[in-house]
Structure 1
Amino acid sequence: MTLVAVSNLVGFIVELAGGLLFGSVALLSDALHMLFDMLAYSMAFGASYTVDRFEGGETWSYGLHRLEPVAAFLNGVLFIPMVGYILWESYQRFLDPVTIDPELTLIVATGGLLVNVGSVYVLQSGEMSLNERSAFYHLLGDAGGSIAVIVATVAVAVADLPIADPVAATLIGFLVLWSAGTVLRESSSILLERSPSSQDDLRTDITALGDVERVDDIHVWQVCSQLTVATVHLVGPATSLENQRTDSHRRTSD
């Protein structure tokens, strides 16, 4: 996560300078996307680092695992003002197209794409936490944004279509919005304690166990993407605590 954050910081600086020097709003949009991604990765790393090193104890029985969905939610919220800026700048370029330097813009955009592809390779794994999935979605959006800049720049250079630059920036804005929606939906589900599994299926599985007559109450929720907790109230055949202890001892002996 740290390596990805540093890579995106370098990519942001290069693309920001390129966008300002060569007049490409698409390149500026992609640079801002990288900046917010760098902040998102830094926040995700900080949350993961704190969670791994805080044991919790009696006061914090689940540790600080809630920091994961909180950081992911804030990452999603950070996208919203960026999308607004990208769409506003694109609209201004629709009204008043600006001439860009296609050759140098193409070089910078290609470098940005390489940074994103390398970051995806570093981050991807078999099982990712919510923060890691959030970063992964960001990177996919970044890669798509870089491709959009490259295509738009080629269109400007070959077909003399200056409108292709703000069109690409608009597409990047919608890519960012899709990423934000995915992250906000997943993190909100955890923060609002949405059940991650079917209670009917769980009730059926528990009832099928020995000495369980009825399941009166089930609550299932996630503390973070990798920690699921459940409480259940079971009714069994034992008529007294002594009978329950005897049954438990017999099952242990068997």
Structure 2
Amino acid sequence: MSAHHHHHGHHGHDHGGKRSSGRSLGISVVLTLGYAVVELIGGLASGSLALISDAGHMFTDATALALGWLAARIATLPPTSRHSFGYQRAEVVGALLNGLFMLVIVTTISIEALERFRQPQEVAGGTVILVAGVGLLLNLGVAWILHSGEQTLNTRGALLHVMGDLLGSIGALAAGIVIHFTGWTPIDPLLSLLISGLILASSLVLIRDVLHVFMEGVPSHLSLEEIGRTLARESGALQVHDLHVWALSSNVYSLSAHVMLHNMEEWPQVLSRAQQLLKERFGITHVTLQPEIVQEVTLIRDAKRLTPNETRPRS
């Protein structure tokens, strides 16, 4: 005899927090995107590639913020007969598109920066200082909005992007100051390459994490061995095997496992303890556990070891 239990802990979640993080992300999108346009115009007007590259960085971050906001909305849609897990992976798909788009931005800016080393262009340092200074203040404001709002993985990821924007604004401001007071224009493409390097690093990390989710990898902050030991030691089970843990999205995790027991009378208590452990210790709420009775498992394994000519004595 064997039984199967499938527990969808996330069905009972309160989505009010997602709406709160969605509001923070929505405000941040409007501010960031609006200023990216201003910075792009300022960069074109002043001839500063550092401003243009920072505008590109801010535009990609506005895209990331918008994808985070959209993912928070889509993730609340209920499962369907075609999408039985719901739409949790929408966030992951959006992150992949965002990462690839950032690589395009990096390539474009880097090519232009290298060209400017060969053919320097005049840059209006005063305009760069003004535009980059305002950008620095705006990025500080966006960082405060995200930090003071509901903390989810979306907003934490967005905050990392905004910190990159802060560095970009500081770089553009530094370029403007150097050009304004010394007239040394190579600082502009030099800092543009530095900003591109920041974008490249965050893009590669993002793409790596997305591919890990698509490959059904164990989330980086979880240990499969620790989860198995905890379940076997504290849930009341004899043994846990065929343990699998993977991510549906950046903050929704799934687990499946076979749990060995002495008898089925133990199952309700073991199941309850296992669910509680997985939720409280590891944040795993989407759980599928299959109980197995130790005598049945032993008989099946012994039967598999028999050769075709061997038989067991009848009881």
TM beyond 0.5: yes
Given that 1:72 and 1:134 are in contact with CA atoms closer than 8 Å, whether structure 2 keeps it comes out as: no
Identify the residue that residue 255 of structure 2 maps to in structure 1.
230
Q: d(CA) in 1 for partners of 2:247 and 2:268?
A: 33
Corresponding letter in the other structure for 2:134: G
Q: Are 1:22 and 2:66 an aligned pair?
A: no
Identify the residue that residue 109 of structure 1 maps to in structure 2.
132
Greater CA drift, 13-22 or 118-127: 118-127
Q: How many aligned residue pairs are there? A: 244
Q: d(CA) in 2 for partners of 1:146 and 1:107?
A: 11
Q: State the TM-score, normalizing by the size of structure 1.
A: 0.88
Identify the residue that residue 241 of structure 1 maps to in structure 2.
none
1:12-50 CA deviation, whole Å, 9 max, x = no partner? 221111111111111111112222222222222222112
1:194 to 217, 220, 229: 217
Q: d(CA) in 2 for partners of 1:157 and 1:209?
A: 66
Q: d(CA) in 1 for partners of 2:203 and 2:29?
A: 18
Q: Measured at CA, do residues 56 and 163 of structure 1 come closer, stay the same or move farther in structure 2, by a change above 3 Å? A: same
Shift of 1:113: 1.3
Identify the residue that residue 69 of structure 2 maps to in structure 1.
45
Unaligned regions of 5+ residues in structure 1, if any? 239-243
Given that 1:19 and 1:28 are in contact with CA atoms closer than 8 Å, whether structure 2 keeps it comes out as: yes
Shift of 1:211: 4.7
Larger radius of gyration, structure 1 or 2?
Answer: 2
1:12 to 28, 31, 36: 36
Q: State the TM-score, normalizing by the size of structure 2.
A: 0.72
Identify the residue that residue 206 of structure 1 maps to in structure 2.
231
Q: d(CA) in 2 for partners of 1:66 and 1:250?
A: 33
5 Å-filtered alignment, 1:32-181, equals 32-52=56-76, 54-57=77-80, 59-124=82-147, 127-129=151-153, 131-181=154-204
Q: Measured at CA, do residues 145 and 56 of structure 1 come closer, stay the same or move farther in structure 2, by a change above 3 Å? A: same
1:157-212 CA deviation, whole Å, 9 max, x = no partner? 22321111111111110011122122222222222211122222122112213652
Q: d(CA) in 1 for partners of 2:245 and 2:137?
A: 42
